[in-house]
Amino acid sequence: MAKTKENKIPELSNPSVCMRDPQRVQEILQSMVKAGSNTLQVISDFDMTLTRFAYNGKRCPTCHNILDNSKLISSDCKEQLKELLNTYYPIEIDSTRSVEEKLPLMVEWWTKAHELLVQQKIKKDMLEVAVRESEAMLREGNQLFFNHLYEHSIPLLIFSAGIGDILEEVIRQAGVFHSNVKVFSNYMDFDETGLLKAFKGELIHIYNKREGALLNTGHFQELRTRPNVLLMGDSLGDLTMADGVQDMENILKIGYLNDKVEERKQSYLDSYDIVLVEDETLEVPNAVLLYLTGNK
């Protein structure tokens, strides 16, 4: 029986797929299928998880990059933001440092970047243009992913350390911002004339998603009839996004390993159930969703 089940998702044999324990993956999938898709919720990171990491050999922008590269930012500000990136990004992906060590430095980075953006007097109505003129792209297969979740009334929570206003605009322009999508992110606060004056609420960065998850217990309370979780991320910080889920029964974790493959592969295999190596598509998550909703 287990053998036939295994072949139900041929995409799990794709060359980009790595699994530490394929048998365990099958067990989780079978348990979730048995429970039914009305018990499922999807929790996903955004930048470089739902969006492409690269296209034709060129890096694609994150939500912050879309702003950084746009005409809304002065060249002086762009320079300063680039300096911040060059200082802090190597720390973020440094596998020799602990999360505890990285945490205050990530807060420092995000806070400085947000302060610089606020000084730029960004107008709300210009965000749409910035996104349209950018090279941001959702991963291949995004229409099926978003539409299938919507058609099956499966909630999608997007949890992002990016900028919520930009993130929503990317999804909106792709035509897939449906009513089942909820976003936890850093949102801009505009004054009555539509100028950016601050960022709202608590800062969400790559390593405090757990706190964000626990702060939003109201959302998870509403979803307590959905104890089965498909989690998607591209960093080890994303693994805590489901920590607010109450009475969780099963969680299947899919991780995109976009770069620095050799030095990070083992830690991803130890943490994620399915690791997708340099895969720019949503083919595997889509195959899993189709399987879980009975569209085999």
Per the CB < 8 A criterion, the answer to whether 162 and 186 are in contact is yes
Question: What is the β-pairing status of strands 188-190 and 196-199?
Answer: antiparallel
Per the CB < 8 A criterion, the answer to whether 250 and 24 are in contact is no
Instruction: Please name every residue paired with 89 in a beta bridge, in sequence order, or none if there are none.
Output: none
Six-digit token pair at 139?
A: 């991963």
List, by residue number, the catalytic residues.
45, 47
Give the H/E segment covering residue 227. Answer: none
1 pLDDT band, cuts 50/70/90, is very low
Q: What CA–CA distance (Å, rounded) separates 258 from 266? A: 14
CA distance readout (Å), 39 to 73, 124, 148, 181, 226: 44, 38, 15, 16, 4
- Cβ neighbours around 50 below 10 Å, total: 26
Q: Please tell me the CATH superfamily of domain 55-132, with its number.
A: Pyrimidine 5'-nucleotidase (UMPH-1), N-terminal domain (1.10.150.340)
Which are the contacts of 106, defined by CB distance < 8 A and separation ≥ 6? 88, 91, 92, 205, 206, 207, 208
Six-digit token pair at 144?
A: 């099926």
Six-digit token pair at 126?
A: 């210009």
253: helix, strand or coil: strand
Q: What CA–CA distance (Å, rounded) separates 259 from 268? A: 12
Predicted local confidence at residue 215, as pLDDT: 66
Least confident of 6-10, 70-74, 240-244, 263-267: 6-10
CA atoms within 13 A on the CB side of 149: 27
| pLDDT tens per residue, range 244-272 | 888 899 999 999 999 989 989 999 999 99
Per the CB < 8 A criterion, the answer to whether 130 and 163 are in contact is no
Mean pLDDT of all residues in 79-104? 89
| pLDDT tens per residue, range 184-224 | 999 999 999 999 999 998 888 777 777 666 666 677 677 88
Mean pLDDT of all residues in 74-91? 93
Per the CB < 8 A criterion, the answer to whether 229 and 252 are in contact is yes
Mean pLDDT of all residues in 221-239? 90
Q: What CA–CA distance (Å, rounded) separates 60 from 225? A: 37
Predicted local confidence at residue 247, as pLDDT: 87
Percent of the chain with pLDDT over 70: 94
Computed over every residue of the chain, the mean pLDDT equals 91
Six-digit token pair at 250?
A: 């099963």
| pLDDT tens per residue, range 28-57 | 999 999 999 999 999 999 999 999 999 999
Q: Is the pLDDT at 296 greater than 70, yes or no?
A: no
CATH fold match for the domains 10-53+138-292 and 55-132: no
Predicted local confidence at residue 3, as pLDDT: 40
- Cβ neighbours around 151 below 10 Å, total: 11
Domain ranges of the chain: 10-53+138-292, 55-132
Predicted local confidence at residue 7, as pLDDT: 54
CA distance readout (Å), 184 to 31, 44, 45, 163, 241: 28, 10, 10, 10, 10
Q: What CA–CA distance (Å, rounded) separates 144 from 164? A: 22
Q: What CA–CA distance (Å, rounded) separates 146 from 177? A: 8
Tell the CATH topology of 10-53+138-292.
Answer: Rossmann fold (3.40.50)
